Amino acid sequence: MKKSGVLNSQISKVLADLGHTDTIVIADAGLPVPNHVAKIDLALKPGTPSFQEVVRVVSEDMVVEKIILASEIKKANSSQNEFLTRHFHQEIEYVEHEEFKKMTEKAKVIIRTGEITPYSNCILQAGVIF
């Protein structure tokens, strides 16, 4: 059994397999998942686990060099936007939500949370440890 970090075996494997510039998505309960993209569904009930909780845990175990958000989050969910800007020290790129959904088609995985607030989704691009 792992001693620390992400205990979910599917998420742990995805993170270990990431290469530079590969992407993963942490999503709210409503984000559509493209048919060919793997989904790890953590949703138990509305709000559980929360988007913020999953972002915190995953980002502790992942080298993140870039964060991509839907620009609509700024007005529709400013509290999530503020959380993400405080949590990550990297520059955040904003794209229109339709473009965001197209970008998810290239993700290695979409991790679905129980979050039920609008635009609580992020694309995390992997960096390197050197």
* Domain limits, the chain: 20-126
Q: Specify the pLDDT at position 61.
A: 96
> Does the annotation flag 119 for ligand binding?
yes
Radius of gyration of the chain (CA): 14
Residue type, 31: L
State the CATH class of domain 20-126. Answer: alpha beta
> Does the annotation flag 121 for ligand binding?
yes
Q: Specify the pLDDT at position 55.
A: 98
Q: Closest Cα to residue 115, out of 55, 72, 66? A: 55
> Does the annotation flag 97 for ligand binding?
yes
Q: Specify the pLDDT at position 2.
A: 84
pLDDT digits (tens, 9 = 90+) for 67-78: 999 999 999 999
The stretch 88-96 carries a mean pLDDT of: 95
Which of 20, 36, 87, 89 is flagged as catalytic?
20
Alpha-carbon span 2 to 111, nearest angstrom? 20
How far from chain centre, in Å, is Cα 68? 9
Q: Specify the pLDDT at position 4.
A: 87
20 is catalytic: yes
> Does the annotation flag 94 for ligand binding?
no
Rounded percentage of the chain residues whose pLDDT exceeds 90 = 95
Name 10's Cβ contacts closer than 8 Å, sequence gap at least 6: 40, 109
